Amino acid sequence: MLNFDEQRFLRIQAGAVALRQRLETVIAGCLDAGAENIFFLGTGGAAILMQPAAQLLQRRSRFPAFIDMPAELVITGSAHLTHRSIVVMPSLSGTTKESVALLEKLKAIGATVLTLVGNEDTPLGQGGDHVFVNAAADDTSSESFYLQSLFIALAILHHRGEIANHDDIVAGLDRMPELLLEVKRAYEPKAEAFAKVLAGSDYHIITGAGNVWPEAFYYGMCILEEMQWIRTRPVHASDFFHGTLELVEKDVSVILFKGEDELRPLAERVASFVPQYTDRLTVLDTAAFALPGLSAEVRALVSPVVLATVLERISAHLEVMRNHPLTTRRYYKRVAY
């Protein structure tokens, strides 16, 4: 595979999986101690990666789950954010400015803070009540964060008796590192063709629904815009028909992500409409990938993880094709803002 270290990938994703039991123990302790809600408070891309877990809780649990922006909460606070709140703060660098600023406020409130970081020797790595370290990097962090946040959501559902088959689900998730590697290997021959689609336009509408919508948002904003300077319009498949559809015309590129949860029909609606007006619809569908041994339920849960791992292969080809390394920035962490 192009510019890819298989053993490094396996080590990092196995590191995420290895955090599961401790995450479950910490969450159980928080709930037993009287926790009343959970906040997922990341910044930027790390925040987006928390959305599938937050959504899972909002739709499957009576335990209140919130997702908000640290930059806003530092200013406004929240009536729901109290000493009985669990706060999950992901930050690969452990130094994210907005999250570090909120950390001080959370300490004053008395909330229980779980930090998910790539480096322990950082403000967030040192500042959490419970620190979870997995030394990932930009090209491997998406799968790691998706898995860790999913373990947290499942731990809450399990502890509250709101999920019947927890053990079977996590047994499947424990196999994800090897399964994801096989997905990468299988997709590698196709990755260059998808990269050519992305390189072939300076503007893409990018859409999805359900738990893969955050990956559409993330890939458009954090990879294509930040790392490749390609303009995108990320829009939820449900909102696509309330404005963005008017931008679809000949030669407009539409990128559609399809997952396997119950909201897949929203993506199918886009897939039916777009080809009538442009021949530049490109679909990435998790149902096309073999995940032997995983139930339909687990496949649905891990759809965003699978997309992330495939998109990394596409990005590897895209940066070479465009002679634009994914690490190149003009402003991000380079100038004052």
**Residues 137, 188: one domain?**
no
Burial of 12 (0-12, 13-18, 19+ CB in 10 A): buried
Final residue of a structural domain among 173, 188, 212: 173
333 inside domain: no
Query: CA-CA distance, 312 to 136, in Å (whole number)?
Result: 14
User: Does some domain include residue 224?
Assistant: yes
- Banded model confidence at residue 310, pLDDT cuts 50, 70, 90: very high
Rg (CA), the chain: 19
Together in a domain, 129 and 23? yes
Distance CA 333, CA 225 (A): 15
CA distance 63 to 60: 9
Does some domain include residue 163?
A: yes
Residue 102 resides in a domain: yes
Residue 132 is inside which H or E element, if any?
Answer: strand 130-133
Give the domain extent around 310.
177-321
Torsion angle, CA of 116/119/123/129, rounded to 10 degrees?
40
Taking only the tens place, the pLDDT of each residue in 61-111 is: 999 999 999 999 999 999 999 999 999 999 999 999 999 999 999 999 999
* 111-162 pLDDT, tens digit each: 999 999 999 999 999 999 999 999 999 999 999 999 999 999 999 999 999 9
The CA-based angle 336-95-97, given to 5 degrees, is: 45
| 249 lies in the same domain as 190 | yes
pLDDT in tens, 235-291: 999 999 999 999 999 999 999 999 999 999 999 999 999 999 999 999 999 999 999
Is residue 335 a part of any domain in this protein? no
Please tell me whether residues 206 and 108 are part of one structural domain: no
**Could you tell me if 186 and 39 lie in one domain?**
no
254 vs 296: CA distance, rounded Å = 27
Do 268 and 197 lie in a common domain? yes
On whether residue 337 sits in a domain, the answer given is: no
Which residue, of 173, 201, 234, is where some domain finishes? 173
- Is 78 inside a domain boundary? yes
Q: What pLDDT is stored for residue 233 in this prediction?
A: 97
Among 114, 140, 173, where does a domain finish?
A: 173
Mean pLDDT for the chain overall: 98
331 assigned to some structural domain: no
What is the predicted pLDDT for the residue at 2? 97
**Same-domain status, 169 and 70:** yes
Is 289 in the same domain as 259?
yes
| pTM beyond 0.85 | yes
146 and 194, same domain (yes or no): no
Given this model, what pLDDT does residue 127 score? Answer: 97
Tell me if 131 sits within 8 A of 120, measured CB to CB. Answer: yes
**φ, ψ dihedrals at 258, nearest 5°:** -120, 125
Is residue 199 domain-shared with residue 314, that is, in the same domain? yes
* CA–CA distance, 200 with 177 (Å, rounded to integer): 32
Q: Within this chain, do residues 241 and 149 fall inside the same structural domain, yes or no?
A: no
Crossing angle of helices 6-18 and 141-159, rounded to 10°:
20
Average pLDDT rounded to a whole number, residues 295-305:
98
Domain count, the chain: 2
Q: How confident is the model at residue 29 (pLDDT cuts 50, 70, 90)?
A: very high
Instruction: Please report, for the domain that includes residue 140, its CATH number.
Output: 3.40.50.10490
Residue 256, pLDDT score: 99
| DSSP 3-state percent helix, strand, coil across the chain (nearest 5) | 55, 15, 30
Residues 130 and 247 in one domain: no
